[in-house]
Amino acid sequence: MTNFSLIETLRWQPGEGFVRLRLHLARLSRSARRLGFPQPAGAAAKLDEVVAGATAPLRVRLTFDAQGRIEVTSAPFVPQAPQTVWTVRVAKTRLHSADRLLRVKTTRRAVYEAARAEYAPDEADEVILLNERGEVCEGTITSIFLDDGSGILRTPPISSGLLAGVLRTELICQRKACVGRLALADLDTGTLYLGNSLRGLIRANLIRS
């Protein structure tokens, strides 16, 4: 299957540049290799071009396809306030742990769009997906983290059927998070956070419906 593109969504900050750039480029290269795409040799240069002259935070989206084409777009980005708490609900839509394409970030997003569409925007800021075994996987645009009081966040394993998020990778490498399977009931035993590289960690309030 090559009727999709790889995606990386990055934050650019004045005076700092691209946040977690090395991890984003490493994931893009690794995903391309797994799928048999060419290597995205020009990705860093394309990113630099789109932010040239920028003076305010940007959300930058890069896509890369099987023919080696790179497209980069940008839009203004307003960071979440530190005290933000998202309202989160659980989707009926399920992920399937055997689907290896869930492990790479692509434009193939129908399952995530279906989950998001289960709730109106004023009912949920984000929606959590489970797999066929009822294990917690990820949000439609975020990785999931549970603070169970141990001092290290728990985040579901890739084998449950989910994306290797860049923020997730960073926190694991920094030993601020560790991998562990999560059942839905586990989310009631600690403080829930969702996050991605663009937005960082966001406190979440899970609503059962």
**Residue 186's CATH number:** 3.20.10.10
Number of helices (H), then strands (E), in the chain: 4, 12
Q: Which domain holds residue 102?
A: 85-206
Residue 144 contacts residue 120 (beta carbons within 8 Å): no
Same domain, 196 and 130: yes
pTM of the model: 0.94
Predicted local distance difference test score (pLDDT) of residue 80:
87
What's the pLDDT band for 117 if we cut at 50, 70, 90? very high
Domain count across the chain: 2
Distance CA 162, CA 139 (A): 9
pLDDT, tens only, 30-85:
999 999 999 999 999 999 999 999 999 999 999 999 999 999 999 999 988 989 99
Same domain, 168 and 106: yes
Nearest to 97, CA basis, from 118, 113, 115, 111:
111
The domain boundary, picked from 76, 93, 114, lies at 76
Same domain, 104 and 160: yes
The domain boundary, picked from 76, 96, 112, lies at 76
Q: For all residues of the chain together, what is the average pLDDT?
A: 96
Same domain, 66 and 109: no
Tokens of 177: 């998070």
What's the pLDDT band for 2 if we cut at 50, 70, 90? low
Same domain, 49 and 142: no
Alpha helices in the chain (DSSP H): 21-35, 43-51, 110-116, 166-173
